[in-house]
Amino acid sequence: MFCRMKAKIAGILVILSGAHVVNAQEKAQAGDRVMYDPLFWKHELSLKSDQSRKIEEINREFYDGLRKLREAPHSKSELQARLDIGLEERSVKIWATLHHRQKRKLERILEANSLQGP
């Protein structure tokens, strides 16, 4: 059970690590990568407006944290460790906003997309 949940969280972390960037300037800095988060599949997952707002709030908190990290000097390894922790926390919070059926549907969407390749 724990391994399965850990695998789910790891999968979501991978997807969320490329989550959309808050503004155009950050998009330019991030490059032309495809960014994912559950809001991308808002209609397919039948997200309610309160769920969408909660996910947007979680994303905003995450990116605010990234901005604060950029402002203070850190070693590369410390930055990576803090990013990993932030991504995991964000993933857990977003996962908690989804209902059981939405989680299953998201897993199926992610599996189908991973089978299609880049």
pLDDT at residue 99 above 60?
yes
Structural domain boundaries, residue 63 = 2-116
Nearest Cα to 15, choosing from 42, 40, 47? 40
What pLDDT is attached to residue 18?
45
Helix, strand, coil percent content, the chain, rounded in steps of 5:
80, 0, 20
Q: Which residue has the higher pLDDT, 35 or 36?
A: 36
Q: How many domains does the chain have?
A: 1
What pLDDT is attached to residue 10?
47
In this prediction the pTM is 0.63
CA–CA separation, 59 and 47 (whole Å): 16
Sign of CA dihedral 49, 14, 62, 95: positive
pLDDT at residue 100 above 90?
yes
Amino acid code (one letter) for 113: N
